[in-house]
Chain A
Amino acid sequence: MNWREPIRIFSDPTPAGPVRRGLSIQARVIEALMIREAMGRFGHENLGFFWLMGEPLLLTLGVMIMWKATSYNHGGRVAIIPFALTSYSLLTLWRHVVQRSVRAMRQNSSLIFHAHIRFLDILFARALLETIGIFAAFMIAYVPLALLGYVPKIHDPLALCGGWLLGAWFSFGFGLVLAGLSEISDAAERLVGPVMYISIPVTGAFYMVEWLPPTAREIVMWSPLVNAFEMFRSGMFPAEYIAEWDAPYLALCAFVLTAIGVPLVHYAQTHVEYS
């Protein structure tokens, strides 16, 4: 790495500057890494990389059936099945993206042998794969349930997709920070598990802000993930069930995490223990 070298962002098209050429190579690398990741994890046996969607799908469906069967009372006005569907989809995204970022650099250090692959590409490819895969799982679960009438029709597709993407961006940013920290310090890595577990209440996966008393609402809305959940749910449920979410705030939090994470990953590249 060399920060002193000229950065050509306003370069003329011929010859293309290193950044522009690098970006086009990067795009191809990320694409290839996504396929490699999917194939490497799930292989060609039985369903192949359908398991990318199958895993979250099974989890979500299982929880939905369990809650429905035990008539678990969550205290809200919305039905249990759409609530479980939205909760578990986004929660799975958050957990998968973050967990697959930790130690990702060390695990994949062998790939760096290829000159065109950088650590950020690996992290980005993984996050993108999860984002697409779990959303596909959500849709696969959603369509039949909607046809059977168990879930309401999508109320606001833009909020649904926006909430999903912003949630994914936030998770990716958080993952970047953890990826960088886990290379620099082992202690940071040990903290990830407990922190992820304890942070479940502030994700907003198991409640809707509307159920809470006003004072608690104000506190909880400081959590970016709660905003992401509310935004995602506002795509599904009518506005009367949804607290007022703040997309710019969520984007700002995601941006700040990315702004910490990207330089951190860039810096941590030199600290990776190659195995």
Chain B
Amino acid sequence: MTERFAAPSPESFLRRYGLHLFTFVIPVMFSGLYFGVIASDRYVSEAQFVVRSSAGVGLDSAAALIQNQGQSRATDENFAVSAYIRSRDALDLLVENENLKAIISRPEGDFLNVFPNFYSRNNKESLFRYYKNMVSSTIDGASGITTIEVEAFRAEDAKTLNETLLRYAEDFVNKLNARARDDALVYSNLQVAAATEELAKIENRFTQYRNEVGMVDAARETASTMESIGRLLLELAKLQANYEETAAITPQSPSLRATQERINSLHGEVTRLRGRLAGGNSSIASRLGEFEKLALERTLAAKTLEQVELSRQKARQEAEQQHLYLQTIVQPNLSDHAKYPRRIYYFVATLLLCFMLFATLRSLTAIAAEHVTR
């Protein structure tokens, strides 16, 4: 193979150093230029919070402790809030209320990091992707503490956005609370309404029946009738004794006939009253059953209403007890140091990777060339 040893021609610079240039020198130069000069500072504001429920005292917490021994998971609400912070809903609110679009296209931002830039489309989907890179929310599995990090070109922007997000998260938690309370109460409210209606219906039927038979209370009616009968019988006994006394002393007394008449009429009255008490269709005894039945129904309905009302109160109490609240542990900070971009880190990473690419390609091409050069 003689051509290898031919004198290099003037245009062979690229052939000789092309690989060095294109895989190492130029990328590293660009990387140095970008990370050294062009890349804009991005400030990070960090906040920490925990979503807690006021329930979980006594036995509950002991059970929770045992449950959590193997796996340390944060509560469901923590995940929900964390997901909400990085959701389209929160993004929409930020765009509407905080003028997010101005914040992410500040003049300080470099051409790669602003939104919209030369390669991203100016639509909602791209904005959402940008937003997810800009806001992070991580839950620490062991402690359940959620950390939100918001980055922006200005430290104040990052802080404002973070504060707003915390507020949104709190609103979200309150919404969850309202929902849980409503859900718990809706059912018992329905139950109370049904019980009340039932009681009113029975009361109505009772009144109707009373009007129908012309009697307010069968039991009392019975008592008063019995009392009258007793009184009449007493008077009858007195008259009877009087009559027999008079008949024995003065058998021709003119008052005897009158007394006899009174005794007869009293007897008739007692018989009538007895008839009213029992026997026959319109007697009190025949109505007593119906009265008792209605009274029992009324008592049952009243008891049900009482119970349902009690359980509604309990449900309300429970809902109050399981009240969630968002406790901010660390307020959003105003950063005075740009955390991103990590200039040296990324520059060294580019340098290393480019060197590796160069070394690999050089070895590969050398090995490939060895196939012909021997």
- CB contacts (< 8 Å) of B374 on chain A: these are 115
What is the CB-to-nearest-CB distance from B174 to chain A, in angstroms, rounded to a whole number? 27
Q: With a 10 A CB-CB cut-off, give which of B70, B365, B366 has the most chain A CB atoms.
A: B366
* Total number of residue pairs linking A and B with CB closer than 8 Å: 102
Q: List chain B residues, Cβ under 8 A from A22.
A: 365, 367-373
Kindly list chain B residues whose C-beta atoms are within 8 Å of the C-beta of A1.
366, 370
Report yes or no: B19 in contact with A7, Cβ–Cβ below 8 A.
yes
Let me know if A215 and B72 touch, CB within 8 A.
yes
Whether B371 contacts A6 by the Cβ 8 Å rule is no
Question: Is there an interface contact between A266 and B367, defined as CB atoms closer than 8 Å?
Answer: yes
Contacts of B362 in A (CB 8 A): 3, 7, 263
Cα–Cα, bound, A265→B73 (Å): 47
Question: Which residues of B have CB within 8 Å of A6?
Answer: 4, 8, 12, 15-16
The count of chain A contact residues (Cβ–Cβ below 8 Å) is 36
Give residues 105-155 of B contacting A (CB, 8 Å). 141-142
The digit string for A9-37, where 1 denotes a CB below 8 A from any CB of B, is 11100010111011101100100000000
Interface residues in B147-180 by Cβ distance below 8 A to A read: none
> Quick one: which of B15, B360, B372 has the most chain A CB within 10 A?
B372
Residue on B nearest A15 in the bound complex, by CB: B3
Residues B372 and A25 in contact, CB atoms below 8 Å apart: yes
Give the complex CA separation of A26 and B19 in angstroms: 20
A213 touches B72 (CB 8 A): yes
Q: Is the interface of B mostly helix, strand, loop or mixed?
A: helix
Q: B216 near A: Cβ within 8 Å?
A: no
Assembled-state Cα–Cα distance A23/B369 (Å): 7
Q: Which of A101-109, A143-151, A254-262 contacts B (4 or more CB under 8 A)?
A: A254-262
> CB within 8 Å of B: which of A226-275?
255-256, 258-260, 262-263, 265-266
Nearest CB to that of B18 among chain A residues? A10
Interface set, chain B 9-43, CB cutoff 8 A to A: 12, 14-16, 18-19
Would A10 and B15 be within 8 Å (CB), given that A213-B72, A213-B141, A259-B357 are in contact? yes
- Note all chain A residues with C-beta closer than 8 A to B72: 213-215
Which of chain B's residues have a CB closer than 8 A to the CB of A256? 356
Expressed in whole angstroms, the Cα–Cα distance for A103 and B23 within the complex equals 32
Given contacts A19-B369, A26-B368, A214-B141, contact A7 B16 (CB under 8 A): yes
Q: Please, which residues of chain B bring their CB within 8 A of the CB of A258?
A: 360
Q: How far is the CB of A28 from chain B (nearest CB, A)?
A: 9
Is the CB of B199 closer than 8 A to any CB of chain A? no
Closest to A255 in B: B356
Which residue of B is nearest A212, CB measured?
B71
Minimal Cβ-Cβ distance residue in A for B15:
A8
Residues of chain A contacted by B3 (CB below 8 angstroms): 15
**B263 in contact (CB, < 8 A):** no
Contact for B368 among A2, A10, A19, CB less than 8 A = A19
Q: A7-B16, A256-B356, A259-B356 are in contact. Are A213 and B371 (CB under 8 A)?
A: no
A153 at interface, CB cutoff 8 A: no
Cβ of A95 under 8 Å from chain B: no
Does chain A have a CB within 8 A of B364? yes
Contact of B142 with A9 in the complex, beta carbons under 8 Å: no
Task: Tell me whether A263 and B360 are in contact (CB under 8 A).
Answer: yes
In chain B, positions 335-369 with a C-beta closer than 8 Å to chain A are 353, 356-357, 359-360, 362-369
CB within 8 Å of A: which B204-257 residues: none
With both chains docked as a complex, state the minimum distance between the C-beta of B274 and any C-beta of chain A, in angstroms. 83
The smallest C-beta distance from B368 to any residue of chain A, in angstroms, reads 4
Report the bound CA distance from A10 to B370 in whole Å: 18
Q: How far is the CB of A209 from chain B (nearest CB, A)?
A: 14
Q: Which residues of the partner chain B approach A18 to less than 8 Å between Cβ atoms?
A: 1, 4, 368-369, 372-373
**Within 8 Å CB of A118, what residues of B?**
367, 370-371
Chain B residues contacting A10 (CB-CB under 8 Å) are 14-15, 18
Interface centre among A7, A21, A25, A214 (most CB of B within 10 A): A7
Cα of A259 to Cα of B8 in the assembled complex, Å: 29
A5 at the interface (CB under 8 A from B): yes
Chain B contacts for A44, CB-based, 8 A: none
Which residues from A are CB-within-8-Å of B363? 262-263, 265-266
The docked-state distance in angstroms from the alpha carbon of A5 to that of B362 is 11
Please measure, in the bound complex, the distance between the C-alpha atom of A237 and the C-alpha atom of B175, giving whole angstroms. Answer: 36
- Docked complex Cα distance between A67 and B142 (Å): 34
| B359 pairs with A259, CB closer than 8 A | yes
Cα distance A79–B12 when bound, in Å?
A: 62
| A41 in contact (CB, < 8 A) | no
Q: Please tell me if the beta carbons of B18 and A9 are within 8 angstroms of each other in the complex.
A: yes
* Inter-chain contact B372/A21, CB cutoff 8 Å: yes
Q: How far is the CA of A26 from the CA of B18 in the complex (A)?
A: 22
Partner of B71, one of A21, A26, A213, A262: A213
Question: Does any Cβ of B come within 8 Å of A141's Cβ?
Answer: no
A116 located at the interface, meaning its Cβ lies under 8 Å from any Cβ of chain B in the complex: yes
Q: Give the residue name and chain of the B residue nearest to A218 (CB).
A: B141
- A120 on the interface (CB 8 Å rule)? yes
Q: Select B371's contact among A26, A215, A260, A265, beta carbons within 8 Å.
A: A26
Contact indicator per residue, chain A 77-100, by CB within 8 Å of chain B (1) or not (0): 000000000000000000000000
**Residues in B whose Cβ lies below 8 Å from that of A5:** 4, 369, 373
Q: How far apart sit A103 and B226, CA to CA, in the bound complex (Å)?
A: 120
Ranked nearest first, the 5 interchain pairs of A and B with the lowest CB-CB distance are A259-B356, A22-B368, A22-B371, A18-B369, A266-B363
20 extra interchain contacts, Cβ-Cβ under 8 A, other than A6-B16, A7-B362? A2-B373, A3-B366, A5-B369, A6-B8, A7-B366, A17-B15, A18-B1, A19-B365, A19-B368, A21-B371, A22-B370, A22-B373, A29-B371, A213-B70, A214-B72, A255-B356, A255-B357, A262-B359, A262-B364, A266-B367
6 contacts between A and B (CB under 8 A): A2-B366, A7-B362, A8-B15, A18-B373, A120-B364, A259-B356
B contact residues vs A (CB 8 Å cutoff): 1, 3-4, 8, 12, 14-16, 18-19, 70-73, 141-142, 353, 356-357, 359-360, 362-374
